[in-house]
Amino acid sequence: MLIMGSTSLSPCVSLSPSLSPHPKSPNPNPSPNPFHLSHPSFIPISLRFNHPPSRSKKLLSPNAPNFFVAASAKAEPLKVIISGAPASGKGTQCELITKKYGLVHISAGDLLRAEIAAASENGKLAKEYMEKGQLVPNEIVVMMVKERLLQPDSQQKGWLLDGYPRSSSQAAALEDYGIRPDVFILLDVSEDVLVERVVGRRLDPLTGKIYHLKYSPPENNEISSRLTQRFDDTEEKVKLRLRTHHENVDDVLSVYKDITVKVDGNVAKENVFEQIDAALTHVAEQRKVNSGSLAA
Ligand code: AP5
């Protein structure tokens, strides 16, 4: 596991229910620009720090991420972003992370595929971009992700954001909304491995479980017979998706460099999870210690 972050402070931002717009409630003054707040209940990020950064503490652990977690009187749920190239294993790791940490998994790709399945106008438009391996316009993605992040279950249990942000403008939108993760996990996987993972990936439409014909084969013939393949999982399309990823990844990383944990994603999924688990355990422990010292 490579730690990219330097010693710096991650402000603890809370979106208390009273400050958060009601999920799915129609905005009376919709803004044409999704990056600017039009909801009257939003207040500037600087007013929403739970505590000044000077209250932060650092735990000393040899394999721990090298950044601070801000103190809070009550330990808040974890907020995690997981990022990486197409087929780097984000979805696979999210299954393991949610199982252990109980976070709400919010996948931008899954939200878009749900729109496609519902044959909505947004879904029809999104599919045109996804088929070309390009980013779906922010007008569709930003509000969709933001609304999901602000729903009560995400606020109460904590969230695991997968596949968002994918550009500097998407990252800026989160920052504008005062939404900042505790940790940014980057899965690092070599390109030849990515292509092999894409073409062998299969999905169980009944359970949503991710399989791979070689690395995670289905448990029995019944499951095997119902597996499906994603429309953008071809060698040709993954090359386009990879190009889009390379064009944007550095911009996104620069926003989160102080809280980035780079994980070797080339190894077996259990070993990838071990690295992520160590980082998340550390962040969660730091929060507990910080909240304990404040309460004392
Ligand atoms: P999205 O659905 O997010 O696709 P992606 O980023 O290309 O990532 P994948 O879902 O393909 O892969 P993954 O990293 O989850 O890997 P997985 O765990 O499945 O996005 C699709 C499209 O939607 C985008 O191209 C874009 O058009 C649009 N979009 C999405 N977000 C957007 C945004 N924010 N803005 C604009 N547009 C957006 O694993 C892959 C395979 O490998 C599986 O078969 C798995 O079993 C296997 N595997 C996983 N880990 C391992 C391991 N350690 N060892 C061996 N095999 C493994």
- Pocket of ligand 1 contains residue 84 by CB under 6 Å: yes
Could you give the CA distance from residue 180 to residue 199 in angstroms, rounded to a whole number?
Answer: 34
Instruction: Say if residue 34 is preceded by a cis peptide, omega within 30 of 0.
Output: no
Take atom 2 of ligand 1 and give the residue whose Cα is closest. Answer: 109
- Pocket of ligand 1 contains residue 77 by CB under 6 Å: no
Could you give the CA distance from residue 130 to residue 71 in angstroms, rounded to a whole number?
Answer: 40
User: How many residues does this entry show for the chain?
Assistant: 296
Residue with tokens 């229910």: 17
For residue 189, the model assigns a pLDDT of: 97
For residue 160, the model assigns a pLDDT of: 98
Angle at 252 between CA 249 and CA 253, to 5 degrees: 85
Could you give the CA distance from residue 275 to residue 280 in angstroms, rounded to a whole number?
Answer: 9
For residue 10, the model assigns a pLDDT of: 32
Q: How many CB atoms lie within 10 A of CB 77?
A: 18
**Which tens digit of pLDDT belongs to each residue from 174-193?**
999 999 999 999 999 999 89
For residue 223, the model assigns a pLDDT of: 98
Assigned token pair, 166: 């994918």
Pocket test for ligand 1, best of 81, 112, 272 (most atoms within 8 A of CB): 112
Ramachandran class of 72: left when φ > 0, alpha when ψ lies in -120 to 50, beta otherwise: beta
244 in Cβ contact with 129 (< 8 Å):
no
- Pocket of ligand 1 contains residue 105 by CB under 6 Å: no
Could you give the CA distance from residue 53 to residue 112 in angstroms, rounded to a whole number?
Answer: 37
Assigned token pair, 49: 């720090």
| Whether the predicted model's global pTM rises above the 0.85 cut | no
Centre of ligand 1 from the C-alpha of residue 182, in Å: 22
Q: Which residues of the chain have pLDDT under 50?
A: 5-63
Order of all β-strands in the sheet with 104-107? 2-3, 260-264, 183-188, 79-84, 159-162, 104-107
For residue 290, the model assigns a pLDDT of: 78
For residue 231, the model assigns a pLDDT of: 92
- Pocket of ligand 1 contains residue 130 by CB under 6 Å: yes
Report DSSP state, residue 136: P
Spacing of C-alpha 192 from chain mean position: 24
> Residue 56 burial (CB < 10 Å; 0-12/13-18/19+)?
buried
For residue 226, the model assigns a pLDDT of: 98
Centre of ligand 1 from the C-alpha of residue 73, in Å: 37
Catalytic residue among 201, 202, 237, 262: 201
